[in-house]
Amino acid sequence: MTRDPSPAPLPRSARSLVMAAYALLAAAVAMDLATNPDLTFSPVLATAPVLASIGTRRPRVPLLTGLLALVIVAPLALADPEVALPVHLTAAATVLAITCVSTANVVLISTRERQLLQTRSVAEAAQRALLRPVPERIGGLRVAVRYVAAAAEARVGGDLYEVLATPYGVRILLGDVRGKGLGAVETATDVLGTFREAAQVEPGLETVAQRLDATVVRRRATEEFVTAALVEVPTGGGPAHLVNCGHLPPLLWRGGQVTEVESPVPDPPLALRHLVEGPCHRIRFGFAPGDVLVLFTDGVTEARDASGHFYPLRERLAAMPHLSPDALAARLLADLLAYAGGALGDDAALLVVRRER
C-alpha cells in the first residue's frame, strides 16, 4: 500500500526567510493596532495562508491559517474606524480567496506526489522483475553491480545485465539497448529472457550470442539494436571467454594494472549480425584468482565534467585501492557522479567481478 509522501525539509535559508516573513506579518498587525486609525495593514494578512502552505502536505494547515487571518481582519477594522468599510471587506475577500488557492495548491501537490510515489513503486517492481539482483558469490566469483538510470525519476532504462550459474560455468551479460522509452525496455526484457534460457542449454558462448541476435532481429519494427558483452568463467579454473557484440571492451584489473580485454575481430551489435559473414568470435583471456573484471556501458565513459571531458574510467580504476567488488563498484559510482556533477546524460551500468583465490 502506497503511503502519503512526507515533505522534504526546507533548507535552512528557506526556513529563515519564512520565519522572517511571519515576523514582518506580525509586526504589520501590531503596527495596525497601535498606529493611525485612518491607515490599515489588513490586506497583508492574505500572505498568511501562502506562508503556511510552504513545506506542508496537509491542506488543513493553510486553511486554518487563512481562517485565523480572516478572523483577525475584524479587530483591525474596529481599530481603524477612519478606514472605509469596503477596504476591510476587500481585505477579507482577498484573504479568503488566497486561502482557497493555497489550500487547493497543497491538495494538488499532495495528489501528484502520491501518484509519483505509486509510479516509483511500479517502476521498482518492474526493475526487480527485469534486472534481478545479482548474487554476491557465485561459482568462485564475487560480483557487484551498480545501475543508474539517466531520467531523474526512472528506475529502469535501456541497460541490462545478468549473472547466471550454468553447466558451462558462470555466464555474464552486460548490454545497452540503442533506443529510448518503452521500446528499449521491451527489447531489454526480450534479450534477458533469451539469455536466461540460452545460457543454460547452449554449450558455446558464441551460439548464445547468435540467439540473442535473432531475438533482437525479430523486434526490428524499430531501429533499435543492442551492444552486448558476454563473458564465461569456468568454475573449475582456466581462462575466461568473451564474445563482444559491438560493446565497449571490459577492463581487467590485475596487480594495480588495468588493461582492456579487446577482441581482435569485434562482432557487430545484436540485430546487425547480418552485416558480416561467419559466426560470432569467442576469445580467451587470462582471469586468474585475485583479478577483477569490470564491465560497463557507455553511460559511464561518456559522462562529462564541467569542462566537457569524458570520465577516464581506466585511469580512475587503476588508481583505486584493492577493494571488494561491492566496495569498488560503490566507489566508482560515487566518483563518476561527483565527476559529472551529480547527473548523468545516459543510463550507466557497472558490473564488477573478482575471481576468488
pLDDT per residue as tens digits for the range 155-193: 556 789 999 999 999 999 999 998 766 777 788 889 999
The per-residue pLDDT for range 101-140, each reduced to its tens digit, is 989 988 988 888 877 776 665 555 555 667 788 999 999 9
Rounded Cα distance between 205 and 221, Å, is 27
The per-residue pLDDT for range 265-277, each reduced to its tens digit, is 878 999 998 888 8
pLDDT (0 to 100) of residue 62 = 87
Rounded Cα distance between 316 and 303, Å, is 13
Label residue 345 exposed, middle or buried (CB < 10 Å: 0-12, 13-18, 19+).
exposed
pLDDT (0 to 100) of residue 120 = 60
The per-residue pLDDT for range 235-261, each reduced to its tens digit, is 888 999 999 999 999 999 998 899 999
pLDDT (0 to 100) of residue 37 = 66
The backbone torsions φ and ψ at residue 119, rounded to the nearest 5 degrees and listed phi first, read: -65, -40
Residue burial 247-272, b: 16+ Cβ < 10 Å; e: rest:
bbbbbbbeeeebeebebeeebbbbbb
Rounded Cα distance between 184 and 188, Å, is 6
Pair 106, 61: CB distance under 8 Å: yes
pLDDT (0 to 100) of residue 173 = 97
